[in-house]
Amino acid sequence: MKRLLLTVFAVSTLAATSALAADLPMRSAPAPQPILAPASTWTGCYLGGNIGGAFGDASLSGDAGAVSSHGSGFAGGGQIGCDYQFAGSGWVIGFRDMYDWTSNNRSGTIGGGPLPTAVANFNNQWFDTLTGRLGYSWMPGWLGYFQGGAAWGHTSTNVTVADVQIGQTSTTRTGWTVGGGVEWMFMPHWSAFLEGNYMDFGSQSGTAFSPVGCAAVCGFTAKATEATVIAGVNYRFW
């Protein structure tokens, strides 16, 4: 009899405990902690490609007068560089080398009247710029920058009379460049940019042969400048 009472008491206690537990609210699982993306930084090196337009001005002055011409063409190539963003700041410094081929050709006439008309053909085949740049990242993933430095370009000037070449300069010139743009880091390791640049390659002197004793051009000086508007993509190594 005593054992039966103990059994009934145990079963009653277990049933009451189970009912009480059923009435208690279920404890929710802890919310997963958000995974924070690493803060974007411009520190690192990169390489990439670009494409755009080249707009050139060229002039020639000689014994028979002067001529200037404007032209436009294609520009495209690649770039490599490195940047450093100061910790806790939006300021960024860096350097870059860009090499582009161009198809910027233009021409103009000089002389005329009692003198034979000479045609000056200007051509810029490629340019290479080595620049330092200073930028500011005003919000994550965006960078505005200015840049300047040295520029090299292969330019040629051909002078012809009646389709006969009487003078030419063809050389790699050294000059300077200045420009600026904006860059957007649209995903980790990848950024896109749009920029404009101006290059001045200075003057180059040459001598033209004329069968009429300098009636066409003879001594002349050619000057070339170039402006570009280009867009490009960079792959960045942190």
- CATH numbers and ranges of domains, the chain: 44-237 (2.40.160.20)
Given this model, what pLDDT does residue 27 score? 59
Average pLDDT, the chain: 80
The DSSP code sequence of 122-172 is: EEEEEEEEEEEEEEEEEETTEEEEEEEEEEEEEEEEEEEETTEEEEEEEEE
Phi, psi of 20 (to 5 degrees): -65, -40
pLDDT of 228 > 50? The answer is: yes
Between residues 12 and 220, the one the model is more confident about: 220
Residue 16: pLDDT band with limits 50, 70, 90? low
pLDDT in tens, 109-154: 776 555 567 777 778 889 999 999 999 999 889 999 999 999 999 8
Look at residue 6 and give its three-state secondary structure.
helix
Residue 36: pLDDT band with limits 50, 70, 90? very low
Cα separation of 154 and 190, whole Å? 31
* Residue count (the chain): 238
pTM surpassing 0.75?
Answer: no
Task: Measure Cα distances from 83 to 46, 176, 186 in Å.
Answer: 8, 21, 17
